Amino acid sequence: MSISIPKLPSDADALTAALGYAQAGWYVGPVKQGTKNPGSILGAAWPTHTSREPEVIASWFAGTNYGVFLHVGRSGALVLDVDSPSRVPDWLRAELDTTPFHQTRANVNLPNEQARGHHIFSLNGESYGNGISGFTSRSEAGWGDVRGSNGVIVVFPSQHPAGGQYAWERAGECPEPSGELKQRLRPAADNEVAASDREVQDFLSRYVVKGDVAERESEARIGTIEVSAARKVAEGASRHDTLAEHLAWAMDDARSDLLSAPAATVALKQWFDSEFAPGGTRRAKPNEGEFLGCLSWAVGQARAKPQSAVDARRERVLDVESEVRSVNDWVLDTLMAEITTQRTKQRVKDQRFVDFQHLMKEQDLSEFVVPHFLYEGDQALIYSQAGVGKSLLTLEWACKLALGSAIFDENTTPMTVLYVDQENPRQTLRDRLENMGFSDPNILDKLNTNLKYSLYSELHPLDTKQGGKDLVALAAEVGASIVIVDTTGSLVEGEENSNDTYISFGKYTVNPMRAAGIAGIYLDHAGKDLGRGARGGSAKAKDMDVVYQMTLKSDYQIRMVREKNRSNYEGDADVMLKRADNPLRHDLVAATTEARVQGLLQRAVALGLGPNTGRPTVHKALTEAGESCTQRQAAEVAKRLKLQGPSTVTEVLERS
């Protein structure tokens, strides 16, 4: 995340300013007015407590008189603190003129004093230490200091210890330091490092062990760290301090290639969360950003270790483990075998088998979620060329399902819809809702309740195990009956042309959605050759229950062709929709086959159904007689039965 200095009103209070800094990418903290000590409020462990979470920031500053400090290194920044402007080298002065500038003597009228202050740079993954030891020549010394790594600066609207307030002379984006400046900066030392978010991400991606044996040993080491943490907390230790200590242990081991950093992070996050519960005298839940704060500190410590120390640690650990294994090698094998057995038993216990008595008593296994197009729990792929209007159609469906409005003249029951949109800007969404007639405040209240619209979601890729779990868990959390993904290609990480990508997508997302009983619509783009189906790997449709190709025949005519029908959908496989205005909507133009309607009409008359027979009776009589009849076909038959006077099948057919 890039950082900048926000333009704040001159009368901004500390809470407003702190929230503005956080939104601009900064980790912030509270400080006692008139001091520069970042631990004056947060304590000695302040590097693990800084935050950019609004809830945490509000808890610090609302109703208090604290000043604000910026956590420089953790935010991915570098600050040059100029105390003697006249001693700044010419080459550096030119560079400082390009940065945001924070005056530390804003209330003093002397020009030289007003030039004292902080110049802010943004770093691109590097970490530099505090101090100016790199400025070695006499001509370059004495101008000021460097704030890096775990450095902080106290900022507007805080009070300066010497009196008065700080002030921003220049705001805006923070540039990167030049190569000449970087050459004079020293690398961060072990005891002053808190990793930036980018550095944390890079570290977790880099330190992953591979191979069955290595993964097995990694799991055992992580288990040991978890047990140690749980034991310390049970003995009364601080949960926060214990987390920081054991994350540092885990990240050191990861740097030494002894365990996987991501797996250790997940395990310790789960342990930490499990230590909180309502009731009692301790906090009922972790603070927002608390875990990430400890993790950034732990990663910073691990990154700063010299390679010689890393190698020595690995050798020492492996030597000790070798001695232990030579005596008790069977212990680890037995433990891992027991863990595997217990997990297998749990999977068997959790497995749901079909109850055939219950199955045969179920009245209808094919209730529509979207009339004519999607059954409950089914998974559908809708693909088309760009610009045809896939998103328009499914947004209308989503809103009407959430409101319980009719779709194609058939009533629906209000339900929760989860819409994951990775394609459309906010303004486009707003315009479409307005054109569809969904701008009334009462309607918007209902949409807020039942339509959970996630715009540019941060879900893991859906062709990964974690991504599929994320989507199913999110749908379950909001109680969704249907999930719409717009579009599939934007939520996978594998190559679009690779069948492996969509085999994984089916395995991790489509099939678990079906197993959870949640219907799914996945929008996708067609390839250059529309006749060859959706763009990319042919396995896209493999796990779908129904696949629709959508084409634009004119500005207002849309053709929907059902290309796959695993769930035996009735009715036409080729239908036309009309896109109408005032409000923007889609109407069903042709959803019946004339020959089929004629056959059902003949059968209805043979069953004794007369001109006053309504659609429900027609549908019931025909289906009980063994006919396959959709609700729309039944409605068409009922309409034709209303013809007055005929008494024979022939007359009915002739009149129709």
Q: Is 212 exposed, middle or buried (0-12, 13-18, 19+ CB in 10 A)?
A: exposed
DSSP codes, 89-127: -HHHHHHHTTS-EEES-TT---HHHHT-EEEEEE-SS--
3-state secondary structure of 153: strand
Rounded CA-CA distance 128/148 in Å is 5
Q: Is the pLDDT of residue 650 over 50?
A: no
> Does the structure show a pLDDT above 70 at 348?
no
Per DSSP, the residues of 379-443 read EEEEEE-TTS-HHHHHHHHHHHHHHT--BTTB------EEEEESS--HHHHHHHHHHTT--SHHH
409's tokens = 């003249």
Tokens for 276? 């909180």
* Phi and psi angles of residue 95, each rounded to the nearest 5 degrees, phi first: -75, -40
What would the mean pLDDT of 108-121 be, rounded to a whole number? Answer: 76
* Cβ–Cβ under 8 Å, residues 389 and 558: yes
Q: State the burial class of residue 314 (Cβ atoms within 10 Å of its Cβ: 0-12, 13-18, 19+).
A: middle
Residue found by looking up tokens 């094998």 in the block? 333
Lowest mean pLDDT among 58-62, 262-266, 567-571, 614-618: 567-571
Contact 143, 88 (CB under 8 A): yes
Per the CB < 8 A criterion, the answer to whether 382 and 524 are in contact is: yes
95 touches 156 (CB < 8 A): no
Rg (C-alpha) for the chain, rounded Å, is 33
For residue 210, the 8-state DSSP code is -
User: If residue 5 lies in a helix (H) or strand (E), which one and from where to where?
Assistant: strand 4-5
- Say yes or no to pLDDT of 267 above 50: yes
Strand order in the sheet with 451-455: 451-455, 417-421, 482-486, 519-525, 379-384, 546-552, 557-565, 574-580, 585-590
Tokens of 215: 């993964």
Most confident of 95-109, 245-259, 319-333, 363-377: 245-259
Name the nearest CA neighbour of 508 among 481, 488, 526, 480: 488
Residue 546 has pLDDT above 90, yes or no: yes
When pLDDT is cut at 50, 70 and 90, the band that residue 290 belongs to is confident
Of 72-81, 241-250, 330-339, the range with the lowest mean pLDDT is: 330-339
CA distance 335 to 343: 12
Nearest to 116 by CA among 141, 143, 139: 143
Phi/psi of residue 578, nearest 5 degrees? -110, 125
What local confidence, expressed as pLDDT, does residue 109 receive?
Answer: 64
| pLDDT over 90 percentage in the chain | 31
pLDDT reported for residue 644: 40
More confident position, 483 or 107: 483
Share of the chain above pLDDT 70, in %: 82
Tell me the average pLDDT across 209-215: 82
Model confidence pLDDT, tens digit, residues 457-504: 888 999 998 899 889 989 988 889 999 999 898 899 888 788 889 999
Element (H, E) at 520: strand 519-525
C-alpha span between 434 and 447 (Å, rounded): 13
Residue 365 confidence (pLDDT) above 50: no
Q: Do 487 and 525 touch, CB atoms closer than 8 A?
A: yes
Q: Is 188 left (phi over 0), alpha (psi -120 to 50) or beta?
A: beta
Name the one residue in this structure whose structure tokens are 């088998």.
353
Integer Cα distance of 461 and 476 in angstroms: 18
3-state secondary structure of 571: coil
Q: Which amino acid is at 595?
A: A
Cα separation, 64 vs 157, whole angstroms: 13
The β-bridge relationship of strands 144-147 and 28-31 is: unpaired
Query: Is 136 a residue whose pLDDT tops 70?
Result: no
* Summary mean pLDDT of the chain: 82
Q: Which DSSP letter does residue 86 get?
A: G
Calculate helix-pair angle for 261-274, 239-255, nearest 10 degrees: 170
* Beta pairing, strands 117-122 & 101-103: antiparallel
Q: Which amino acid is at 436?
A: M
Q: Which residues, in sequence order, are bridge partners of residue 585?
A: 580
